[in-house]
């Protein structure tokens, strides 16, 4: 069993500029290292210390601002396992779906999770396990998601869904 | 109202949409009507629809990713290349070899697929698409830039998306959308002198807050007295309240420039999630103070703050009427010592018009630096980024930490008039005609 992941807590109104300042935009030329600047201003230690599967917890309006997909792309490359927030900005939320980063809207989870908590996401079982210092585990239920999103999450992302089915989730096949 | 917005031939942009879509649209909001007609069935807020896209817009900073996804993940097919526009505006002209190389590749792919390319100097994507008639009433326009809500100025369903969504829209000719609830904003009363469309737009964001219209359509009624460019300012800032679209209700003035489909009207019986009324007569000039766009306060509460740089431009306020306002407020005064004034016209059309009527000469005489049409330093990539501790009064749309360069710089968002007054004074200042405000 893999070791548990860590919870990184952020506040309200985390912008895509916070996630990745525009000056670090990837150039698609050679070896881009833009992801190493994730949260460069807000949490300079983040990119070096985050581990694959770690979970980000935000407040209200997570991901507002620029449509830049390279902001969540940086999180994807760094292996962020899921994001929980009280609410998401809409363009960013679409980008998360497209990249296949699970995003959950839940006041209960935001209230329950603390910076540095040790957790393991069990998507297929609809729950999040949290481990106390003595190893005791506690199961926190994930919020239910609408049918459209279930279809997306089952394939991993909207892009994968379209590749496989030649249509969008919930769409009848085009003529 | 002076404007650089064609059609230059003086006629109207035609419509591609049917006047009678054969659907019952009674009781539907503007957003629901557009998406119903596009989907071919009556749809209501909350439903998810897949609709054909009339125009896909992508900018230089996103085009490389979107085109790579098309090439590598979606079979290299662009279904309707004639419905795709590429605009090189975010870093234009290129700032270094890597950016230049990326743009070189984008130009090549655009040529290969027969996409419409608006290259360096043509201007900011949203301004250019409106000037070129590539956003029309009732169209669905998706852009790789969050301020694609700007197309709502002509009642097009304009919305921003990321690279993957843009790639999927290019490959499939369609996009999925959740039909948005509507927040109706009714403007009433007359604007006092010195209160600009920017002040109105910032007041809307203050009232709704930065997430008050998340996923929603902001429907703006009562904008008849606002010119075409001013309506773009209103629709542009809708996204700063979290909105998916910002639709300015069609009126006689819109119908002078566009053939407006008969069904594209505001139904007073439509069900909306929230209504707010804004009494324009009570407004005064405002600034949005770091580091949130909805942190809006009267300018008079921030007078005297030293200003290092004033930036006039962007898709929010870089149009001819904005440049006119700057010259009018400067009124022959020079930019204060210790302050830089940077003016970047929103498009080559704006630049040409401003050259022809003497506006550019007046700006340069006042000590302004005039830049190449494009986004300029708005997102901190080039042409006027800020040093630690510097203060910028900007006519742009975001004042987030680090947005225009150093995270220790401060951006105050304001109207062109307040920007000009601040440039002349060297501190945050009000134009003389606007020292009053709501008593």
Q: What is the pLDDT of residues A103-116, one digit of tens each?
A: 999 999 999 999 99
* Average pLDDT of the segment spanning B204-215: 96
Is the minimum CB–CB distance between A68 and chain B shorter than 8 Å? yes
Cα of B164 to nearest chain A Cα, Å? 6
| Contact yes or no for A99 and B214 at CB 8 A | no
User: What pLDDT was estimated at residue B3?
Assistant: 56
Task: Name every residue whose Cβ is closer than 8 Å to that of residue B158 and which is 6 or more positions away in sequence.
Answer: B135, B141, B142, B143, B148, B149, B150, B151, B152, B235, B245
Q: What is the average pLDDT score of chain A?
A: 91
User: What pLDDT was estimated at residue A145?
Assistant: 79
What DSSP letter does each residue of B320-340 carry, written as one string? Answer: HHHHHHHHHHHTTPPPPTT-E
Look at residues B128, B120, B168 and name the one whose alpha carbon lies nearest to residue B151: B128
Name residues 105-144 of chain A within 8 A of B (Cβ). none
Inter-residue contact B182 to B217 (CB < 8 Å): yes
User: What pLDDT was estimated at residue A3?
Assistant: 82
* Average pLDDT of the segment spanning B179-195: 97
**Inter-chain Cβ pairs, chain A and chain B, closer than 8 A:** 138
User: Cα separation of A151 and A145, whole Å?
Assistant: 10
Position B437 confidence tier, pLDDT thresholds 50, 70, 90: very low
* Average pLDDT of the segment spanning A11-16: 96
Cα of B330 to nearest chain A Cα, Å? 32
**What residue ranges of chain B are covered by domains with CATH 3.30.499.10?**
30-280, 287-432
Contacts of A23 in chain B (CB under 8 A): 380-381, 385, 405
Higher pLDDT, A36 or B9: A36
Task: From residue A26, give the alpha-carbon distance in Å to each of A49, A99, B320, B407.
Answer: 21, 16, 33, 19
Contacts of B73 in chain A (CB under 8 A): 159, 163
Second CATH level (architecture) for the domain A5-24+32-116:
Alpha-Beta Barrel (3.20)
| Contact yes or no for A64 and B161 at CB 8 A | no
Name the percent of chain B lying above pLDDT 70. 96
What one-character DSSP code corresponds to residue B385?
P
User: Cα separation of B378 and B19, whole Å?
Assistant: 40
- Structure-token pair, residue A138: 């506690």
What DSSP letter does each residue of B357-368 carry, written as one string? Answer: TTHHHHHHHTT-
Determine which of A114-128, A148-162, B171-185 has the lowest per-residue pLDDT on average: A148-162
User: What pLDDT was estimated at residue A170?
Assistant: 78
Omega cis (within 30) before B299: no
Let me know how many helices (H) and strands (E) chain B has, helices first: 13, 18
User: What pLDDT was estimated at residue A169?
Assistant: 85
User: Cα separation of B98 and B102, whole Å?
Assistant: 6
User: What pLDDT was estimated at residue A16?
Assistant: 96
Pairing of strands B116-118, B140-143: unpaired
Please tell me which residue of chain B has the smallest CA distance to A99.
Answer: B164
Residue B1 confidence (pLDDT) above 50: no
What b/e sequence results for B130-142 when a residue is b if at least 16 CB atoms lie within 10 Å of its CB, and e otherwise?
bbbbbbbbbbbbb
| Contact yes or no for B242 and A89 at CB 8 A | yes
User: What pLDDT was estimated at residue A26?
Assistant: 80
Is the minimum CB–CB distance between A91 and chain B shorter than 8 Å? yes
Please tell me which residue of chain A has the smallest CA distance to B148.
Answer: A67
User: What pLDDT was estimated at residue A80?
Assistant: 97
Please tell me which residue of chain B has the smallest CA distance to A173.
Answer: B50
* Average pLDDT of the segment spanning B334-340: 98
Please tell me which residue of chain B has the smallest CA distance to A32.
Answer: B98
Query: Which long-range contacts does B117-120 make (Cβ < 8 Å, 24+ apart)?
Result: B117/B85, B117/B86, B117/B88, B118/B85, B118/B86, B118/B87, B118/B88, B118/B89, B119/B88, B120/B88, B120/B92, B120/B93, B120/B94, B120/B372, B120/B374
User: What pLDDT was estimated at residue B208?
Assistant: 98
| Contact yes or no for B211 and A26 at CB 8 A | no
Let me know if domain B287-432 sits in CATH 1.10.101.10: no
Contacts of A99 in chain B (CB under 8 A): 164
Question: What CATH number is given for B30-280 in this structure?
Answer: 3.30.499.10
Is the minimum CB–CB distance between A167 and chain B shorter than 8 Å? yes
What b/e sequence results for B410-421 when a residue is b if at least 16 CB atoms lie within 10 Å of its CB, and e otherwise?
bbbbbbbbbbbb
Coil, strand, or helix at residue B275? strand
| Contact yes or no for B144 and A41 at CB 8 A | no
Inter-residue contact A13 to A89 (CB < 8 Å): no
Look at residues A26, A128, A124, A90 and name the one whose alpha carbon lies nearest to residue B245: A90
Q: Where are the beta strands (DSSP E) in B194-282?
A: 217-221, 245-248, 274-279
Angle between helices B63-73 and A158-165 (to 10 degrees): 30
Question: What would the pLDDT profile of B3-61 be if each residue is shown by its tens digit?
Answer: 556 565 568 999 999 999 999 999 999 999 999 999 999 999 999 999 999 999 999 99
Q: What is the average pLDDT score of chain B?
A: 95
* Average pLDDT of the segment spanning B351-357: 98
CB nearest A94 (choices: B50, B98, B165): B165
Coil, strand, or helix at residue B37? helix
User: Cα separation of B223 and B235, whole Å?
Assistant: 11
User: What pLDDT was estimated at residue A152?
Assistant: 85
Coil, strand, or helix at residue B418? helix
| Contact yes or no for B242 and A22 at CB 8 A | no
Instruction: Return the domain boundaries, chain A.
Output: 5-24+32-116
CB nearest A17 (choices: B210, B385, B402): B402
Burial of B75 (0-12, 13-18, 19+ CB in 10 A): exposed
Residue A173 confidence (pLDDT) above 70: no
| Contact yes or no for A65 and B146 at CB 8 A | yes
Cα of A118 to nearest chain B Cα, Å? 30
User: What pLDDT was estimated at residue B265?
Assistant: 98
CB nearest B379 (choices: A66, A70, A90): A66
* Average pLDDT of the segment spanning B276-288: 98
Question: What would the pLDDT profile of B119-174 be if each residue is shown by its tens digit?
Answer: 999 999 999 999 999 999 999 999 999 999 999 999 999 999 999 999 999 999 99
Inter-residue contact B182 to B30 (CB < 8 Å): yes
Position A23 confidence tier, pLDDT thresholds 50, 70, 90: confident
Burial of B27 (0-12, 13-18, 19+ CB in 10 A): middle
């Amino acid at each position: 069993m893999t070791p548990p992941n860590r919870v990184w807590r952020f506040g309200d109104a985390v912008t895509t500029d916070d996630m990745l300042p525009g000056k670090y935009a990837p150039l698609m030329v050679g070896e881009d290292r833009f992801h190493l600047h994730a949260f460069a201003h807000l949490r300079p230690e983040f990119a070096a210390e985050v581990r694959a599967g770690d979970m980000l917890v935000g407040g209200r309006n997570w991901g507002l601002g620029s449509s830049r997909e390279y902001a969540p792309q940086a999180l994807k490359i760094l292996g962020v396992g899921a994001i929980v927030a009280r609410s998401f900005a809409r363009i960013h939320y679409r980008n998360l779906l497209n990249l296949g980063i699970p995003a959950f809207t839940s006041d209960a989870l935001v209230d329950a999770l603390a910076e540095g908590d040790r957790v393991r996401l069990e998507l297929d079982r609809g729950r999040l396990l949290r481990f106390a210092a003595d190893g005791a585990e506690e199961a926190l239920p994930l919020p239910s998601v609408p049918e459209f999103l279930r279809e997306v999450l089952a394939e991993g992302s909207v892009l994968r869904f379209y590749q496989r089915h030649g249509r969008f989730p919930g769409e009848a096949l085009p003529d | 109202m002076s404007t650089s917005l064609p059609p230059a031939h003086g006629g109207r942009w035609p419509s591609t949409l049917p006047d009678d879509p054969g659907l019952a649209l009674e009781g539907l909001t503007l957003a629901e009507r557009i998406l119903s007609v596009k989907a071919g069935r009556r749809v209501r807020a909350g439903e998810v629809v897949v609709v054909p896209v009339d125009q896909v817009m992508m900018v230089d900073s996103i085009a490389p990713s979107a085109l790579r996804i098309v090439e590598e993940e979606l079979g290299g097919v662009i279904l309707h290349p004639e419905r795709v526009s590429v605009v090189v505006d975010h870093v234009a002209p290129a700032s270094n070899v890597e950016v230049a190389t990326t743009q070189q590749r984008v130009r090549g792919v655009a040529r290969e697929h027969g996409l419409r390319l608006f290259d360096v100097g043509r201007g900011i994507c949203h301004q250019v698409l409106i000037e070129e008639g590539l956003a029309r009433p009732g169209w669905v326009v998706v852009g790789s830039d969050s301020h694609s809500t700007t197309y709502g100025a002509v009642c097009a369903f304009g919305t921003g998306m990321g690279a993957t969504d843009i790639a999927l829209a290019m490959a499939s000719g369609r996009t999925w959308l959740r039909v948005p609830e509507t927040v109706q904003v009714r403007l009433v009363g007359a604007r006092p002198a010195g209160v600009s469309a920017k002040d109105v737009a910032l007041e809307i964001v203050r009232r709704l807050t930065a997430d008050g219209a998340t996923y929603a359509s902001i429907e703006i009624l009562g904008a008849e007295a606002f010119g075409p460019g001013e309506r773009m300012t209103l629709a542009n800032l809708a996204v700063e309240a979290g909105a998916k679209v910002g639709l300015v209700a069609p009126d006689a003035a819109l119908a002078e420039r566009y053939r407006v489909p008969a069904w594209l009207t505001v139904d007073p019986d439509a069900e909306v999630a929230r209504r707010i009324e804004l009494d324009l007569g009570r407004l005064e000039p405002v600034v949005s103070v770091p580091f949130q766009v909805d942190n809006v306060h009267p300018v008079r509460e921030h007078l005297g703050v030293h200003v290092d740089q004033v930036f006039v431009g962007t898709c929010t306020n870089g149009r001819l009427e904005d440049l006119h306002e700057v010259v009018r407020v400067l009124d022959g005064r020079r930019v204060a010592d210790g302050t830089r004034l940077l003016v970047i016209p929103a498009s080559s059309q704006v630049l040409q018009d401003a050259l022809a009527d003497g506006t550019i000469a007046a700006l340069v005489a006042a000590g302004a630096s005039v830049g190449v049409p494009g986004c300029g330093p708005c997102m901190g990539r080039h042409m006027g980024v800020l040093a630690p501790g510097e203060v910028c009064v900007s006519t742009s749309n975001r004042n987030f930490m680090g947005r225009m360069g150093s995270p220790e710089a401060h951006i105050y968002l304001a109207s062109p008039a307040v920007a000009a007054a601040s440039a002349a004074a060297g501190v945050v200042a009000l134009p003389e005609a606007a020292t009053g405000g709501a008593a």
